[in-house]
A and B are shown apart, each in its own frame.
Chain A
Amino acid sequence: MFYIIRRLLLLVVTIALVSIITFAVFQILPGDPVRTMLGTEADETQIESLRNELGLNRPLHEQYVDWIKGLFTGDLGNSIRFSMPVSTLLMERLPVTLSVASMALIIVVLVALPLGIFVAKRQKKFSDVVLSSVTQLGMAIPSFWLGMILILYIGMNVDFFKISGYIPWSESIKGALSTLILPALTIAIPQIAVKFRYVRTSILEQMQLDYVRTIRSKGLPEKIVVYKHILKNALIPILTIFGLITAEVVAGTIIVEQVFALPGIGQLLITSISYRDFPLVQGIVMYITITVVFINFVVDILYSVIDPRIRLR
């Protein structure tokens, strides 16, 4: 219990720090939200009127304190760029990003785990060598390029897939899948390439330990040795890695949403940064921080479930 409380406290401190740093960075960054939004055509009258309306002429600390106050009441303020509440914008886009990210995560787990075990069992055999070299390629491929290639060779040839935009699940499940599978694959493929190697290494390490030799000498079938004993012990490092993936998948959606014109959080983040839309950036950063910190929190709890020794520390 104490462990969980300590973790929760850490979560709150992390979020507070991230919020202050984002705010500070935005004050240091050159670029003015109103001017960037209105562009070269704006005259001074328009710039001044918009700035007054948005309250950007107030002192910085006042703006920040107001924002924090809003946060506690669930009000994230209004986006400068879109003249709409940040929470509305986030809510509209959250389902898109969550769908892509969770689909990508599922694909990674479903492929990387079995693949890692398979390769570990065939150490130094031909298939191991082939897969390892394919991995190098997988890691080196930039995701925007992979996205383009998937659009070009799969999206444009198979009628089922849509290559841009998003159809909500509520409208049509088939439609949602047709817009989400390719982006999810784009994120998943490089992740699989990296992650199955972790699985392989982790399993190989366990294989060399004494207990494996003991159970083998007891005459247990190889399947039970691998899946019951080795896998269970190898799960701790694997879990850590899959905790980290969440952050990478969220980062991955930023680029992929751009390529597939998916109206998700990542696309919103890029727009909000280039327009210096501070309330919106804060809102998104908060969302990403909370997700990542929360997942890590869950992973930490899972450790203690898998390995009871961890609770004692």
Chain B
Amino acid sequence: MLKRKFWLTIVLVLVVLFISACSNADEGNTTGSKDEAEATAGAADQVQDIRVRVNDDPDFLDPHRATASISFQMILNMFEGLFIPQTDGSLTEGLADSYEVSEDGLTYTFSIRQGVTFHNGKPLTIDDVVYTFERLMGLNGGEKLSGNFDNLDSIDVLDDTTFVMTLKEANSNFLYSLTALQSAIVPQSNDGKHNDNPIGTGPFAFVNYSPGANLELKKNEDYWEDGLPYLDNVTFVFQSDDQAAVMNLIAGEVDVTGVPGHRVSEVEDSFNISHQNNNSTLIITFNQEKEPFNDVNVRQAINLSINKQDIIDSVFSGYATPIGSNMSPAMGDYYLDGLQDVYQRDVEKAKQLLAEAGYPDGFKTKITVSSHNDIYSSIGQIAVENLKEIGIDVEIEVVEWGIWLERVYFGRDYEMTTIDLTGRPSAYEILNDYISTNDAENFFLFDNEEFDQVMADVLKETEREKQIDYYHRAQEILNEESAAVYIADYQILWGSKQDISGLKSYPFWFHDMKEVKFD
């Protein structure tokens, strides 16, 4: 008898659960239609809250400690520098409202913008600017946080609104280190709390960060640009799985997300898809200190044998722009067109070059790829097949991202690898970082005297037209020397709700929410 009662209770509980679940579902329906009713009632009443999906947590919220591009993608909404990078790679005045450079390119005089307040209500003063640079350089007691200002000789305050920066050596790229990417201006009043409670002058202010879940920002009501921003709340939702993210977009749980190329057809009818040339450089490269990759013939042979269009079509579903050097068309007139066609696939010529280099029968080698994104192994597999045709026998080694960094990137203990180099707003950094011999990040150990000379000369050149000539020459050298197999600048496809406007795409990772609104 007792037993029967037990089972009866369980069945009853299940029935109750089921009924309550159903009735809840009904409630869900009614609230859903209410939302729609509100939405049609008038655009003025439209709730200006956006949920943007990003792949991962920020590394730091403190803009001086953060290095990952994914962090800046979010936190650039909270912070500003003396200059603000624009969508075409140029700079406009930000917290500095005017500046002058001396003839010799050593002295920069800035005046700071008036009427700017930090999110904590304190006004921006020249002391905060000095504090920011001293903090970065490790001059006010803390650790040194950046090597970008080693060339800075002194900062002198002239009056309440003007200050002078003096460089040790002329550097035409100096202004690019004054954006929020490298030197976000932070208030001295927030010393010691920059990571836990970040405060800046940007269009959005910090509300809360839940690790693994989201980063919440709210509108900065006192933002110095009149009428901006439009949104009241911005939530960056962390979700690593691309496939699940697309379903979240369809289900309306996020408003903006990156969409993998092969899933565009599922969402393009009901969502806006915008293409962003993200200015990254997708490459297959080699350790150029090791044989046989120190031979330019071998590098060119590999370049000729790899079918870049195959990679673009199969890995990126065609959403990628072919490139011929580190520079992408996203960089406007800094980009030199035509190089992308130099190494068209030509197996015969590749074999001939290999023979000239002394490897008529090819050789054995290994390509080390990171597992944090499957594009790298896919590219590796295509490369293996292509290289087999010219007799090069390649083994694929897939390693974790942490191991890739340690072994390939920092340890330089590898033969071949594939990776994408992150986009930057400065043409100089795009070409110099990773490649010139004086750069610590030159992990493919490219070594070319003329290239280093060009990169040194361009820093002393103050005229933009002449700088562009230098940058074009640098791209030609990379191409002639086949410093890497330059494949493409792949596009990031953003799927967004159709009533969202104002999304902008930058030549670096930035979800700029300043002008975004729901119509």
Using a CB–CB distance below 8 Å, which chain A residues touch chain B?
Answer: 30-33, 35-46, 49-50, 52-53, 81-84, 89, 92-93, 110, 114, 148, 151-152, 155-156, 158-160, 162-166, 174, 177-178, 181, 223, 227-228, 258-261, 263, 267-268, 271, 274-276
Contacts and interface: CB of A to CB of B under 8 A. Distances in A.
A46 to B, nearest CB: 6
B251 A45 contact: no
Interface in B52-96: 57, 59-60, 65, 67-69
B407 interface: yes
Interface string B134-152: 0000100001111110000
B143 A263 contact: no
A50 B138 CA distance: 13
Nearest to B411: A30
Contacts of A37: 59, 68
B422 A32 contact: no
Interface of B: 3, 7, 10, 14, 21, 24-25, 27-29, 32, 57, 59-60, 65, 67-69, 138, 143-148, 195, 210-214, 237-241, 243-244, 247-248, 250-251, 253, 372, 400-403, 405-407, 409-410, 421-422, 440-441
B402 A148 contact: no
Contacts of A148: 243-244, 247
A31 B403 contact: yes
Given A30-B407, A92-B210, A263-B212, 9 more contacts: A30-B403, A31-B406, A38-B59, A46-B65, A151-B244, A155-B251, A165-B253, A268-B212, A276-B402
B67 A163 contact: no
A40 B60 CA distance: 15
A160 B24 contact: yes
A39 B67 contact: yes
Contacts of A260: 244
B371 to A, nearest CB: 9
Contacts of B195: 83
A99 B67 CA distance: 35
Contacts of A114: 7
B239 to A, nearest CB: 4
7 contacts: A30-B406, A35-B410, A223-B3, A261-B237, A261-B244, A261-B248, A267-B212
A86 B175 CA distance: 40
Given A35-B406, A35-B410, A261-B238, A160 B25 contact: yes
Contacts of A42: 67
Contacts of A84: 211
B213 A40 contact: no
Nearest to B138: A49
A55 to B, nearest CB: 13
A36 B408 CA distance: 12
Contacts of B243: 148
B212 A36 contact: no
A89 B422 contact: no
Nearest to A82: B211
A82 B69 CA distance: 16
Contacts of B402: 30-33, 35-36, 274-276
Contact of A39 (B27, B68, B143, B241): B68
A258 B240 CA distance: 8
A31 B400 contact: yes
A164 B405 contact: no
Contact of A45 (B144, B213, B238): B144
Contact of A46 (B67, B214, B253): B67
Nearest to A276: B402
B162 to A, nearest CB: 29
A156 B251 contact: yes
Contacts of B405: 31-32, 35-36, 39-40
B145 A274 contact: no
A111 to B, nearest CB: 10
A49 B135 CA distance: 13
B68 A38 contact: yes
B36 to A, nearest CB: 12
Contact of A83 (B3, B60, B69, B146): B60
Nearest to A280: B211
A258 B56 CA distance: 12
Contacts of B240: 258
A83 B59 CA distance: 9
Given A46-B67, A160-B21, A165-B213, A110 B241 contact: no
Nearest to B56: A271
B250 A156 contact: yes
Contacts of B65: 46, 50
B145 A162 contact: no
A49 B69 contact: no
Shortest 5 CB-CB contacts between residues of A and residues of B: A31-B402, A49-B143, A159-B28, A36-B402, A160-B25
Contacts of B248: 163-164, 261
B241 A258 contact: yes
Contacts of B421: 40
A83 B62 CA distance: 11
Contact of B32 (A159, A165, A276): A159
A49 B144 contact: yes
Contacts of B25: 158-160
Nearest to A267: B212
A160 B28 contact: yes
Contacts of A39: 59, 67-69, 405
Given A159-B25, A163-B248, A49 B145 contact: yes
A126 to B, nearest CB: 24
A90 B372 CA distance: 25
Most chain A beta-carbon contacts within 10 A, residue among B65, B67, B239, B422: B67
B77 to A, nearest CB: 19
Contacts of A259: 241, 244
B144 A163 contact: no
B29 A44 contact: no
Nearest to B434: A40
B270 to A, nearest CB: 13
Contacts of B29: 159
Given A36-B402, A152-B247, A44 B147 contact: yes
Contacts of A30: 402-403, 406-407
A182 to B, nearest CB: 12
Nearest to B4: A223
Contacts of A33: 402
